Amino acid sequence: MANYKLFNGVGAAVTAPVGFTADVDLIFDMGQPPHRASIDLTQTPTRDYAKATIEDTGVYDTGKPITTTGNHYREHPAFPVTTVVPGSTEQHGALYLEEAEFATRAAAAGGAGRWPDGYGYKSHGAYQFQAMVYEDKVRAPIQRRYHGFHAKVAKVVNLGGTVCELDVESFHATPTHMLTSTTERLTVDLAAIEQCAPVLCTLSPTVGSSGAIFLGLEFVAKTNTAGGAILRGPKLPPQG
């Protein structure tokens, strides 16, 4: 599992009606003013994986791509990623830029030294605001999509195996723009590529192990946690 791309999330304020190009103010760092940019929304992995500079919209629990132009936060069961899309009616949203594209845009904005922290929130790592697209040409000619989360192994279900109960960090923005994190428990097979991306997982099937896990978008969209909650997207960086 080596043929993958990572996309970094950044907050975006729409400054003009959205067509196939979006004029937006990108917020990389609260210490820097917003960066005005035009983003080509057609350069996605589903259109051209090799040339992709921005991740797609995310998926429903069926695996089909999200097609709405409205409020992506209300789309469920689904896990949205990029929410500024052609014809978008939202004034604010998330753009997930390919790593090199993110670096170029961030440099033009004056840097992103504090990304993705802010508004009282300290992240465990950039992976919490990264999406991953893996082009699977071996098992099937498809693209597999994942999103990064911070998690801790609470229980190993099958001794010596890879099925674990994880406490996964999720969060939402409050009306005061502070990020409130919650811990949701769900069962994941660390070796199942439909559920997570083993190549980027730093967890080991040992109680107390903590770190990064990239969960499959379709898996997340249709999985209720032990407490009945759902890990909702899009995961918008604190600056957004």
SS3 sequence of 184-234:
EEEEEECCCCCCECHHHCCCCCCCCCEEEEEEEHHHHHCCCCCCCCCCCCC
Given this model, what pLDDT does residue 230 score? 65
Structure tokens at 198: 């083993």
Distance between CA atoms of residues 198 and 134, nearest Å: 12
Given this model, what pLDDT does residue 109 score? 84
132 contacts 7 by C-beta, under 8 angstroms? yes
CA–centroid distance for 108 within its chain: 23
Given this model, what pLDDT does residue 180 score? 65
Given this model, what pLDDT does residue 234 score? 61
Distance between CA atoms of residues 82 and 121, nearest Å: 21
Given this model, what pLDDT does residue 236 score? 65
22 contacts 12 by C-beta, under 8 angstroms? yes
Distance between CA atoms of residues 162 and 148, nearest Å: 19
Residue position matching structure tokens 């975006």: 12
Given this model, what pLDDT does residue 11 score? 85
- What is the chain's pLDDT, residue by residue, as a tens digit (240 residues)? 458 999 999 888 888 888 899 899 998 877 778 889 999 999 999 999 999 999 999 888 888 888 887 767 666 788 889 988 888 887 788 899 999 999 999 888 887 777 877 656 677 888 988 999 998 776 666 899 999 999 999 999 987 889 999 999 876 555 545 556 778 899 999 999 999 999 999 999 999 999 999 999 999 888 776 666 667 666 666 554
